[in-house]
Homo-oligomer: A and B are copies of this chain.
Amino acid sequence: MNREDKKRLTRQNVLNAAIELFAEQSYEATTITQITERAGIAKGTFFNYFANKEDLICDIQVIWAVEEVRRIKEQPGLLIPHIRYLIMQIDKFHASRQLMLAVNQGIISSPKAIRNQLEQIDELVKALTEVIEEGQRRGEFTSSLPAAMICEIAIQTYLGTRLYWSMGRGDSNLGTQMVVTFELFFKSIMA
């Protein structure tokens, strides 16, 4: 194994340790010392990979699946089934309520983390808006609202469901909760 591989391994090691701890306790409660102990490395090593805890949360960032969203608009026929399918995948990435709570804590914990989060949302908005526009062109979605607005409300809906679920409410499975919630949402934007 060469140096590069080893570095990647150590980095992932740190990330895994952090995720574990976030899932066990919370973002705030997790200290860098705990992370390095769990990862089995020296405290100083952490700072070779991340400038601080904020920096780390950015890397743990929920995969927003922007690529998958982009691909949807190329699909023939109805778009909603494809979106629904994507939503059902969500719980693959959202292990536990505790972890999601920690992520929610993390992304609003500091101006920097928020900025990072907004950038990711921006990208998603762009990709998703195109999908909705395509849906409007095809007559699948209502055109009574601008695509951008529908898109933002969709993201709000996603965030709200995630937050609510992470606080311990809703179906025990986040995917299920998401699907139910979005069924209602789809109904409201269908032409």
Contact B155 A164 (CB under 8 A): yes
Q: Which of chain B's residues have a CB closer than 8 A to the CB of A158?
A: 160
Interface residues on A, range: 35 or more
Q: A118-B168, A167-B118 are in contact. Are A156 and B181 (CB under 8 A)?
A: yes
How many copies of the shown chain assemble into the complex? 4
Interface of A is mostly: helix
Q: Which of chain B's residues have a CB closer than 8 A to the CB of A160?
A: 156-161, 163-164
Closest to A180 in B: B149
Q: Which of chain B's residues have a CB closer than 8 A to the CB of A109?
A: 28, 105
A51 at the interface (CB under 8 A from B): no
A188 at the interface (CB under 8 A from B): yes
Q: Which interface residue of A108, A169, A181, A187 has the most chain B CB atoms within 10 A?
A: A108
Contact B118 A169 (CB under 8 A): yes
Q: Which of chain B's residues have a CB closer than 8 A to the CB of A105?
A: 105, 108-109
CA gap between A189 and B163 in the complex, in Å: 22
Mark interface residues in A149-191 (1 if CB within 8 Å of B CB, else 0): 1101101111111011011111000000000110011011100
Q: Which of chain B's residues have a CB closer than 8 A to the CB of A168?
A: 114, 118
CA gap between A181 and B185 in the complex, in Å: 10
A-to-B contact residues, CB < 8 Å: 26, 28, 101, 104-105, 108-111, 114, 117-118, 121, 145, 149-150, 152-153, 155-161, 163-164, 166-170, 180-181, 184-185, 187-189
